[in-house]
Structure 1
Amino acid sequence: MKWGEINYQVINMRILLYLKANRTVIQDKITNSKYYSGMHGWIYGKLKNTDYADMYSKKGFKKFCFGNLYPIRNQKIEQDKEYKVWISSPDEMFMINLLSNINIYEKINLGEFSFDLEKIEPKPSKRIEDFFLLKSETITNVCLPVDGNLKPKAITLTKDNNKFKKQLSKNLIRKYNYFSKEDIEEDFDLWNNVKIKEIPKSEHAIKLNFTKESDNWFDVIGARYKFNLGNINEKQKKIFQLCFDLGFGERNTFGFGFVNGKQIIKGR
């Protein structure tokens, strides 16, 4: 299998990190921004001296996403409390390379946040057939294409239902085609028997600076969503299966668009 290809039928894994906080930090826009950019950099740092060392510089979609710290109470990280964070990828070898470079009890500094890594737990990723609901745990950033040097315009479901669905569908189909080397049409009806609901009051902006040497900060705007899966066909399942671990929307390697699912309980 070539570097860019992923076999969506492989049973992939997710990694759950258990972190013990070294100090108490109030969550705000600045500390949250540094968490996302910090985790982004920490994961890429673990890929040095692996077959994925040049992934950052390669053009195209990248192979991982991660979630928020949890559980959070009273908008703060509390010293000596334990927190968890998920890392996901549909590429099993990527996750094996990442795991091999994570050291138990190492210190992880993410801006003002400081943690000791107490436990690493690889877990098999779930099959999309086992879910009746997909839920974005971090904001999903969806942008409309623009001309020239204009900054992309973020859009949410409540601002423009049709444009949001169309653009997110293109995003997921393009990712699937990029990694699977298939050629599903971008106008394929991905939302057939799928109901999307924006989680109330979930829209917000997170400031990011994509270039270390500059002071070029800008807002990444998005909201969180629930995707109720009805009787979806095989093509839909393939796309959702791959993107379940890649992330929905844009800037997934910064933790945006991280998705979890609620499983069907047998016998109910």
Structure 2
Amino acid sequence: MKVYEYKVKIKLKNDLQYYELPDKLSYFIDSTLGENEEFLKYHGNSHYKGYVHDFLYPIESNGIYQKNKIYTMRIRMIEEKLVQYLMGKLAFHETNEFIAIGGEIKIIPKRNIQQLYSITPVILKGPGQGYWRDWMTLEQFEKRLKDNLIKKYKFFTGNELDENFSLYNLIEFKNKVPVKVPYKNIRLLGDKVILEIADNKQAQELAYLALGVGLLENNSRGCGFVNFKYM
């Protein structure tokens, strides 16, 4: 398995508020997938998606992203067919909000990972899409986080995994209150986390996978994008 990182340069046609970015950037990718019958079906299926993206940087401190300014969005992917398709299409794609003006690709080296940390909020959806702390314990959250990565690993690799291992030695929540993420006219509530990854084979495999598909849910909507520090 390889994790690809594609940096797309994007020029804004109009000013955008920060809270508009998740929907607009997801549509930017979705509309590219929609130009091909195979990838339109891929987009419409309910299975796990082999990619995750962040928002735009540099970050605007006032929350207003400026017309005619050029920003970068990172898309991480693990499916080579998807990589080839988006490389050929996305760098020249245009929507009502954005014009792409090129991109560059690299493979993230597979080395032992010490830490994963949130760039975009980690989302765990539950009853009524409420915040997880209102209906589950921290231990349940941690189990869901690990189980989600194990399921993704099995889905994308077709391999079984000995599930009796520690994924991380420490989890730290960086937010004092839930982080709001716009989604389909509502606000999902998530967290910014830091995970100190355990030094065992299974944990390292899942940590590397997380770079390419994100933590927990709504990854193709820009949630759960994490960066890393090597050991």
TM-score, normalization by structure 1: 0.75
Segments of 5+ residues of structure 2 without an aligned counterpart are none
> Residues 172-206 of structure 1, C-alpha deviation per residue, up to 9 Å, x if partnerless?
11111111112336x53343x53111113462222
Kindly indicate whether residue 98 of structure 2 is the aligned counterpart of residue 81 of structure 1: no
The aligned runs of 1:93-104 (5 Å cut-off) are 93-104=81-92
Q: Does 1:44 align with 2:21?
A: no
The one of 15, 35, 38 equivalent to 1:24 is: 15
Deviations 1:129-181 (A, max 9, x none): 1x32211111101235xxxxx5354425xx83212101111111111111111
**Secondary structure, aligned partner of 1:183:** coil
Partner of 1:175: 152
CA contact (8 A) 2:13 2:67 kept: yes
**Alignment check: 8 A CA contact 1:202 1:224 kept:** no
Task: Report the secondary structure of 2:145's partner residue.
Answer: helix
Q: Does 1:115 align with 2:98?
A: yes
With over 3 angstroms needed to count, the CA separation of the structure-2 counterparts of 1:181 and 1:14, relative to structure 1, is same
The alpha-carbon deviation at position 15 of structure 1 amounts to: 0.7
Q: Tell whether the 8 Å contact from 1:66 to 1:87 is kept in structure 2 after alignment.
A: yes
Structure with greater proportional helix content: 2
Q: Which residue of 2 aligns with 1:228?
A: 196
In structure 2, C-alpha distance between the alignment counterparts of 1:62 and 1:219, rounded to whole Å: 22
CA distance in 2 between counterparts of 1:258 and 1:20 reads: 22
Pair 1:198 & 2:173 matched: yes
1:103 Cα deviation from its structure 2 partner: 4.2
Give 4+ residue runs of structure 1 displaced > 4 Å after superposition.
Answer: none
Whole-Å separation in 1 of the counterparts to 2:193 and 2:141: 12
1:189 pairs with one of 144, 165, 169: 165
**Does the CA-based 8 Å contact 1:205-1:220 persist in structure 2?**
yes
| Superposition RMSD in Å | 2.5
Q: Distance in 2 between matches of 1:255 and 1:164?
A: 20
Q: 1:176, 1:243 within 8 Å by CA — same for their partners in 2?
A: no
Distance 1:52 1:260 in 2: 27
Conservation of the 8 A alpha-carbon contact between 1:128 and 1:240: no
Shift of 1:54: 1.0
Cα offsets for 1:7-60 (capped at 9, x unmatched) = x2xx33111012233333343xxxx2x422222222122223264331123232
Q: How does 1:38-77 map to 2 (within 5 A)?
A: 38-47=24-33, 48-49=35-36, 51-72=38-59, 73-77=61-65
Q: Residue 138 of structure 1 aligns with which residue?
A: 120
The letter for the 2-side match of 1:196 is I
Matches within 5 A, 1:138-177: 138-144=120-126, 150-155=127-132, 160-177=137-154
Question: Letter of the aligned partner of 1:238 in structure 2?
Answer: E
1 CA distance for matches of 2:58 and 2:188? 23
Three-state SS of the structure 1 residue aligned to 2:39 is coil
Number of residues of Structure 1 aligned to a counterpart in Structure 2: 228
Unaligned stretches of 5+ in structure 1?
1-7, 145-149, 210-216
